[in-house]
Structure 1
Amino acid sequence: MDVRNCVRCGKIFNYITGYPICADCKKELEQKFAEVKQYLRENPHSSIQEVADANQVDIRQIKQWIREERITFAEDSMVGIECERCGTTIRTGRFCAKCKSEMAGNLESFTQSATPAESPLKSSLPPQTEEDRLRFRR
């Protein structure tokens, strides 16, 4: 059992996984998220600052929701955050499409080169008969 202090209110709670906040703060954040989401439905061309001011939510929290892809602004909105890899302006997520495809390609090439070849020890052993493989002989 991992006991920690909530980073928002300081209350001690039983930490399981994720962001280290207590259940009360998590519930409050989810309510704020629902308010922000509703505000964006009604005002799709708002800036991050306008959304933060109208809903009493920190700008960093709104950017976190954007990075988690929980919030997406309108196509023609001027709102954007930077790709964590190259700095290009993006609307949601952590990486731009170019960086995502490059990283996926790198990962794919890594997994292909890491396929294990047949071990030399295994190929030098004589084949086993069924009797050799039985744990208890009859």
Structure 2
Amino acid sequence: MEVRNCKGCGKLFNYLSGPPLCPSCAKALDLKFEEVKEYVYDHPRVDMQEVSEVCEVSISQIKQWIREERLSFADDSMIGIECEGCGVTIKTGRFCKDCKDKLAKGFGDLYPKEAPVQKPKDPRENPKMRFLDQNTDK
């Protein structure tokens, strides 16, 4: 366990994982998230500046929630962030669908593909060779 200062209030706390916030600041941030989520749900055509002012949350915090895919927006919403790969406007996450597909394909190419297993050939299938059955009656 590690002791850190809270980024929100500056108090010392036992840090386990996640954002460096004490439990009380983390709870307050979760309550702010719920407030933002409800406001966006009630006002679907709102822009990020208005959400920031009404809910008293920084724009960078709203963008972080979008990147974490905690907040997502409809296609007709005015809120959007840039894809980290190509810069196109997206509504949630870090990458657009095309960049996600490229990354997935790139990761798939990292591992060598197994060669197809060839079944052993039956020597009786070779048309050039002939076999005589021992049980044949002459």
**Bin of the TM-score, shorter chain as denominator length:** 0.7 to 0.9
Residue 127 of structure 2 aligns with which residue?
none
- Say how many residue pairs are matched: 114
Tell me the secondary structure at the aligned position of residue 70 of structure 2.
Answer: coil
Runs of 4+ displaced beyond 3 Å? none
Deviations 1:70-103 (A, max 9, x none): 1112221121101112211111100011110001
Residue 24 of structure 2 aligns with which residue?
24
Residue 64 of structure 2 aligns with which residue?
64
Fraction of identical pairs, as percent:
54
- For residues 91-106 of structure 1, what are the structure 2 equivalents within 5 Å? 91-106=91-106
Deviations 1:84-127 (A, max 9, x none): 122111111000111100010010110236x8xxxxxxxxxxxx
- Gaps of at least 5 residues in structure 1 are 116-138
User: CA-atom RMSD, angstroms?
Assistant: 1.2
Tell me the secondary structure at the aligned position of residue 110 of structure 1.
Answer: coil
Residue 83 of structure 2 aligns to which amino acid in structure 1? Answer: C
TM-score by length of 1: 0.79
**How far apart in 2 are the matches of 1:111 and 1:96?**
24
- Gaps of at least 5 residues in structure 2 are 115-138
Structure that is richer in helix per residue: 1
